[in-house]
Chain A
Amino acid sequence: MADRDERAAGWGSRAVQVGFLLVVLALWYLATNRWGVNRLLLPNPVAVWHQLLDVLRTGEFWPDLRVTLIELVVAFALSMTLGTAVGYFVSRTRYAIRVFDPLFAGIYSIPIILFLPLYVLFFGLGPASKIALGATISFFPIVLSTIAGLGNVDRTLVTAARSMGASEYQMFRYVLLPAALPVILSGLRIGFTVALLSIIGSEVIASLAGLGHHIVQLGEGMDMARMFAYIAFVVVIAAVLNSTVSFLEKRGRRRI
């Protein structure tokens, strides 16, 4: 009974979410077709839809998508490896946690995107600067959650394992890791999201290729309908990537 109520409530909130999007679309349509909003400021949604179909049919998005995805994968691989490794070593002593946890949290709270000009200077306009920025920004949530996860394992469990003779490796594999994994996984998910945001964002600001770069080009060419189509395309890609990562996170939690 309670289960059914919950499911009904779930459908209810879904309906409100879909309804909200439909209202936004309807307002958009009315604004361009009835209320005479300038097409250069806001293209017609039907025109955007046709452009989107054209983008998908021609497959012209591939080169830019490839660049963005490669940047994302490399940046995330770097931040995941470094973030979990550094987090592990910091979490091993109370002293290191006391020193590094506030330090990382402090750096994480400043807008690292401000360093983009510097990164472009160091690494050029190509993918390298995007990778460096994405890896830097996503390193912090990952390292912080790794420290939080491994640093807050229930002491009773550690003591119990020690009393039964657990080796260093066994302690990590069977006690620390499973205890910390849910926290580390949500750090990885957040890291992935901010890596994606900062990579596309920095492509928009200064780049030679990538989805963000392409969108800016269309905007500068006043090709508004096609630009909106690309934005919609990127939104869908981001949603697919983020829900894939969320799904993997849930699976990972169940596997421990």
Chain B
Amino acid sequence: MTARDAAVRIKGVSHQFGAAGDTQYVRALADTSLDIARGELLCLIGPSGCGKSTLLNVIGGLMTPSSGSVEVAAKPVRGPMPHDIAFVFQEHALFPWNTVIENVRLGMLFQGVPKSEHAARAKKSLEAVGLTEFANHYPSQLSGGMRQRAALARALSLETDILLMDEPFAALDEQTRMILGEDLSVLLARTEKTIVFVTHSLGEAVFLADRVAVFSARPGTIKKIMRVDEPHPRRPDFVTSEKFTALRNELYALLHDEIRKTVSESARSED
């Protein structure tokens, strides 16, 4: 991949929390390099604490890595880049005192979208996630799935090329996750966005991703990249296909040892 095709270039990124020798010292991420192609959906999957969320925050400029660097749209990342990157967080992060549409408009206000465009863009992004009827509801009046849709609408209204999603469906029940995953796949087939999606779920990763980056146990680094050759939008019957099962099993095998390592290590540190 040349620099021109890459939407995001991650170059030798390492990160640790605390200073060496400290009780709080944690090496979260070790020497990770990766190019993310324009328009692809990349899933980051790995055992808990492997640094996948850390990497996402580094890409988004919310965290400065201890070493290494990230380039987005051929510019070095030095802080949040609201015009290039939008986030969807695990806990929806909607402002509870604002309605859904106010949340969407506030995002645009922060990013600096001209006021005259707010109404049209808000309408479009709420339509895209199917929340038009709930525009004037407060987040507390919505179900968990609807809140994540609202958070997604807010991110879409920013019209960035890159979308970073940090376990956005983790707090939802299995059925809601499945539906949201299908809708996301449909939505993405229509846009040209580059998406980095952190998840714990093997099925979700195979269902959504063009490529899955599998992380090793802490200090995390990319152990293997698995390709999923299946066009978007992906249909529900993809889940029951042999191809899906084979890929899921392959992913499980890759992850299994790493998860064992993490579990035995945390058992040791708890003793």
User: For A170, what are the chain B residues with a Cβ–Cβ distance below 8 Å?
Assistant: 109-110
Majority secondary structure, A binding face = helix
Interface flag for A161 (CB, 8 Å)? yes
User: For A157, what are the chain B residues with a Cβ–Cβ distance below 8 Å?
Assistant: 93, 95
Query: When the two chains form their complex, are residues A162 and B109 in contact, meaning their CB atoms are under 8 A apart?
Result: no
Query: When the two chains form their complex, are residues B82 and A165 in contact, meaning their CB atoms are under 8 A apart?
Result: yes
- How many angstroms between the C-alpha atoms of A219 and B107 in the bound complex? 64
- B79-110 interface with A by 8 A CB criterion: 80, 82-83, 85-87, 89, 91, 93, 95, 97, 106-107, 109-110
User: For B195, what are the chain A residues with a Cβ–Cβ distance below 8 Å?
Assistant: none
Indicate the size class of the contact surface on chain A.
Answer: 10 to 19
- How many angstroms between the C-alpha atoms of A160 and B95 in the bound complex? 10
Interface flag for B186 (CB, 8 Å)? no
Interface flag for B236 (CB, 8 Å)? no
**Contact with B158, one of A156, A159, A164, A175 (Cβ below 8 angstroms):** A164
Query: When the two chains form their complex, are residues A164 and B89 in contact, meaning their CB atoms are under 8 A apart?
Result: no
Chain B nearest Cβ from A160, distance in angstroms: 4
Interface mask (A245-256 → B, CB under 8 Å = 1, otherwise 0): 000000000001
Interface flag for A166 (CB, 8 Å)? yes
Interface mask (A160-184 → B, CB under 8 Å = 1, otherwise 0): 1111111100100011001100000
Of the candidates A156, A163, A178, the one having the most CB atoms from chain B within 10 angstroms of its own CB is: A163
Query: When the two chains form their complex, are residues A178 and B97 in contact, meaning their CB atoms are under 8 A apart?
Result: yes
Interface mask (B119-151 → A, CB under 8 Å = 1, otherwise 0): 000000000000000000000000000000000
- How many angstroms between the C-alpha atoms of A159 and B80 in the bound complex? 10
User: For B109, what are the chain A residues with a Cβ–Cβ distance below 8 Å?
Assistant: 170, 174
Interface flag for B60 (CB, 8 Å)? yes
Chain B nearest Cβ from A92, distance in angstroms: 19
Contact (A156, B112) CB under 8 Å given A163-B86, A165-B82: no
- How many angstroms between the C-alpha atoms of A175 and B80 in the bound complex? 17
Query: When the two chains form their complex, are residues B95 and A163 in contact, meaning their CB atoms are under 8 A apart?
Result: no
Interface flag for B187 (CB, 8 Å)? no
Query: When the two chains form their complex, are residues B112 and A163 in contact, meaning their CB atoms are under 8 A apart?
Result: no
- How many angstroms between the C-alpha atoms of A170 and B109 in the bound complex? 9
- How many angstroms between the C-alpha atoms of A175 and B96 in the bound complex? 10
Query: When the two chains form their complex, are residues B95 and A162 in contact, meaning their CB atoms are under 8 A apart?
Result: no
User: For B82, what are the chain A residues with a Cβ–Cβ distance below 8 Å?
Assistant: 163-165
- How many angstroms between the C-alpha atoms of A166 and B110 in the bound complex? 4
- How many angstroms between the C-alpha atoms of A162 and B85 in the bound complex? 12
Query: When the two chains form their complex, are residues B111 and A159 in contact, meaning their CB atoms are under 8 A apart?
Result: no
Query: When the two chains form their complex, are residues B80 and A160 in contact, meaning their CB atoms are under 8 A apart?
Result: no
Contact (A156, B97) CB under 8 Å given A161-B110, A163-B80: no
Query: When the two chains form their complex, are residues A156 and B91 in contact, meaning their CB atoms are under 8 A apart?
Result: yes
**Contact with B93, one of A160, A166, A178, A256 (Cβ below 8 angstroms):** A160
User: For A159, what are the chain B residues with a Cβ–Cβ distance below 8 Å?
Assistant: 62, 89, 93
Binding site for A on B (CB under 8 A): 60-62, 80, 82-83, 85-87, 89, 91, 93, 95, 97, 106-107, 109-112, 158
21 sample A-B contacts, Cβ–Cβ < 8 Å, listed by A number: A156-B91, A157-B95, A159-B89, A160-B87, A160-B93, A163-B60, A163-B82, A163-B85, A163-B86, A164-B80, A164-B107, A164-B110, A164-B111, A165-B111, A165-B112, A167-B110, A170-B110, A174-B95, A174-B106, A175-B95, A256-B97
Interface contacts beyond A174-B95, A178-B95: sample of 9 additional A-B pairs, CB < 8 Å, sorted by A: A157-B95, A160-B93, A161-B110, A162-B80, A163-B60, A163-B87, A164-B107, A165-B82, A165-B110
